[in-house]
Amino acid sequence: FDTRLLQLLAGLAFTLSLVAFMWMWFDPDTNSARQSDELLKLASEMLDCTKQGMTFDAAQQICELLLPATSAIAVAITNREIILGYTGYNSDNNVPGSPIRTTTTHETLEDGKPRILHHTDDIGLPASSSQINAAIVQPLSIGESIEGTLKFYYSRATQLTKTQESLAQGFAELLSTQIAASALEEQVKLTTSMELKALQAQINPHFMFNTINTIASLIRTDPNKARNLLRDFAAFYR
């Protein structure tokens, strides 16, 4: 009797645990919170990748982060001319640095419009990409200037749900913002450097003239101090 009672209690505990787990898993609020947490974590990781700008390494890392977060079989990032990053199906034929091959990518780069493509013929890929039958192409922009594209490739058109479209748009906007921030930071550095050079061009001739005159006057009166000033002067210009 004791053994059967223990088995019954163990079975009841397992059932209750399973029900609780299923309730938590399928509860809309819990599920939404979990998805939000995962997306925020993914967004943070993407931003970390672009600290040095949209380099080949950054683009490749971002593609590898995005692929498991969607239903896509391949993810790509391009600039206006070449592939910066690619992961997933047929990656051997889409290595970073190779030219853009799809007609729809060129069209998006020209007009800045996102494209939701439900047929293979609409994508404009070569025959070697036969398993790609649908795609989302999102522009990456700085203001009105289109700087590249973010692309998701799918094996079936039925995978192009509103969720996939929203994810693609959100990720593209995030990357566009980061690209713009990197460009602004680089512009600030360039402006600062130019201002410093202009300032140096004004100061250096006067500084050199005054220093040489000072050293010249000390050569007779205090040779040791003149020698030390010359060494400091040389070190400064080095």
- Other CB atoms within a 10 A radius of the CB of residue 142 amount to 16
Contact 169, 140 (CB under 8 A): no
* pLDDT per residue as tens digits for the range 50-80: 777 788 999 999 999 999 888 899 999 999 9
Indicate if the pLDDT at residue 185 is higher than 60: yes
Mean pLDDT within 110-129 = 82
Question: Phi and psi for 70 in degrees, rounded to 5?
Answer: -130, 180
Question: Is the pLDDT higher at 82 or at 203?
Answer: 82
Residue 125 confidence (pLDDT) = 73
- Its pTM stands at 0.63
Place of tokens 């007609």: 103
Q: What is the pLDDT of residue 223?
A: 87
Residue 209 in tokens: 């003239």
| Long-range pairs, 53-58, Cβ under 8 A, ≥24 | 53/179, 53/182, 53/183, 53/186, 54/79, 54/84, 54/147, 54/148, 54/175, 54/178, 54/179, 54/182, 55/84, 56/84, 56/85, 56/96, 56/97, 58/85
Helices (H), 100-161: 103-111, 120-123
| CA angle (7, 11, 15) in 5-degree steps | 170
Answer left, alpha or beta for residue 61, where phi above 0 means left and psi between -120 and 50 means alpha.
alpha
Highest mean pLDDT among 178-182, 207-211, 219-223: 219-223
* Closest C-alpha among 128, 127, 84, 88 to residue 105: 84
